[in-house]
Structure 1
Amino acid sequence: MAPTGVGARIDAVVARYFDGPVPEPEGLPRYVTPLPQWLENLGLRLAWPVVVVNILGTAFGFWFYAGRPLEAQPPLVEGQLGAAPLAAYPLIPDSPAATLFIALSLAAWRLEWDAEWLHTLAFFGCIKLGFWTPYVQLFLNGPEGLAAWLYWFLVLSHLAMVVEAFLIHRYADFSVRAVAVATAWYGLNDVVDYFWPVLEGPHHTVLRAEYVDGAIDHAVAAHDLAAACAVVLTVGAVFLALATRVEKLRARRDDASDG
């Protein structure tokens, strides 16, 4: 049954201007597809604008991790990136990497490129960082030390990443190999962020809650809570990706038997 209501009407209006085809929904259970169909359709129709927004978000994220430099003179890279060796850079800016993954994933889908590994990395990244950052900001860091606009931008923009994650099932299958790649990457990320301080780590996003007397103290409870949340979200992303694959295969099997 076609969706109805205000959301469906919004989707219909957008479809007049962004009329590229979108994959048909497969009737998957709500626990793996929590968004209403009209919102999935809307996000997919607006894939190219969403790509642009995420590329801008990636640039903003690197600017944030570089200490928000405002002057075009050395040092251009300060902050957490500036304090880390160059070899550690791929391990540090987790949220910018996630927004880059979803931008590339949507672009690859629109260009009809086969990139299951990229789609799955995007799913993991948007689920993990989309929930982890609001949790850390709301329950560990609090608003102190950041401008109000930046604090709420971080919270709300990351929650929007969760919405993006649940668009991906419409065009990706979450193959076992792709899930293995994403699990390896985000599992490694958890290890070096919290448990194995290689390359002058740990490399998790600096928590304001870890500052004690002006210095970072990884022994405080906030560090352990952030680590626990990260690991739980990685496990949750694995479950959701594989559950989505199972439900897709089941739906296709049922369609084949009905046909």
Structure 2
Amino acid sequence: MPISYLWSRMFLTNRGFLWLLLICNILGTIYGYIWYGLQMEYTLERWPAWMVIFVPDSPTASLFFSIALLFLMFPPRSGWLQLIRKLMEALAVVTSVKYGVWAVTMIFWGQALGDTLVWEDWMLTVSHLAMAVESLLFVRFFIFGWKSLVAALVWTLLNDYMDYSQGIYPWLTEQLVKRLDQVRNFTVCLTIASAFVGGLALWQARYARHNR
């Protein structure tokens, strides 16, 4: 079996594989919300309750991807569900790429500044890289367009604004907090880059389909 089979349509859209991927993402989402549990409680105690939705970044990204997988497995027929599907797909791509790369960067940036890596850091590195890769692999099976992509970009930039204007960004190590302005600037640039990469992947998939 050639290795290219692993990213072929036949393999990736196989019903059994989709169920396995969905289960893994749901479990990762649950774990992520548990991981953010203390920060969510802290936020609810000190800020308006609605702001808590901007706290758990990575698990919300994997939640978007899980919903996108469900729509892929069970395509909706009604118009408004189609709109929701497109938005969820665009959010899945932009946020999965963004937070997948962001988390890994923060881990190794912190390590370069003197933080000690533990086994959880390696687990988070693998799982977050997987988030970014899986979202880009599935772009060609998604139906969202440029309007949904722009909406996803706006939402993710709003999340950045809330994180760094209200101080509800993911808890960082002491070394990284000292460089918060740099972290903020990197985060915003990464959001824009993630939307660009998602758009490029979308364009490439549509172009390849058109020229078959």
Q: Percent of aligned positions with the same letter in both sequences? A: 26
Is 1:102 the counterpart of 2:65 in the alignment? yes
Matched with 2:20 is: 49
Give 1:131's aligned amino acid. V
User: Following TM superposition, by how much is the alpha carbon of 1:226 offset from its aligned partner in structure 2, in angstroms?
Assistant: 2.0
Decide whether the 8 Å contact of 1:61 with 1:93 is kept in 2: yes
Offset from partner CA, 1:173-197 (integer Å, 9 cap, x none): 4412111210111010111112xx3
Note closer, same or farther for the CA distance 1:63–1:87 as it changes in structure 2 (3 Å cut). same
Asked if 1:182 is matched to 2:152, the reply is yes
Matched, 1:250 2:173: no
Q: By how many angstroms is 1:89 displaced?
A: 0.9
Cα pair distance change 1:84/1:61, threshold 3 Å: farther
| Residue deviations 1:89-126 (CA, integer Å, cap 9, x gap) | 11110011001011110111100133111111000111
Distance 2:137 2:209 in 1: 19
Q: What amino acid sits opposite 1:134 in the alignment? A: V
Give distance in 2, aligned partners of 1:81 and 1:135: 28
Alignment-mate amino acid for residue 193 of structure 1:
D
Q: Which has the higher helix share?
A: 2
Contact 1:119-1:172 within 8 A present in 2 as well: yes
Partner of 1:205: 170
Matches within 5 A, 1:86-97: 86-97=49-60
Pairwise CA distance, 1:83: 5.3
Select 1:131's aligned residue among 101, 106, 109: 101
Contact 1:44 1:167 in 2 (8 A): no
CA deviation after TM superposition for structure 1 residue 163, in Å: 1.4
Distance, in Å, in 1 between the alignment partners of 2:10 and 2:186 is 31
Displacement of 1:242: 2.5
- Kindly tell me the number of residue pairs found equivalent between the two proteins: 202
Residue 38 of structure 2 corresponds to which residue in structure 1? 67
Structure 2 CA distance for partners of 1:234 and 1:110, relative to 1, 3 Å: same
Q: Normalized against structure 1, the TM-score is what? A: 0.68
- The answer on whether the counterparts of 1:173 and 1:245 sit within 8 Å (CA) in structure 2 is no
Which one-letter code corresponds to 1:208 in the other structure?
Answer: T
Give the RMSD, CA atoms, in angstroms: 2.7
Q: Are 1:234 and 2:199 counterparts? A: no
Q: 2: CA distance between counterparts of 1:229 and 1:44?
A: 34
Gaps of 5+ in 1: 12-36, 69-76, 212-217
Q: Is the 8 A contact 1:66 1:82 kept in 2?
A: no
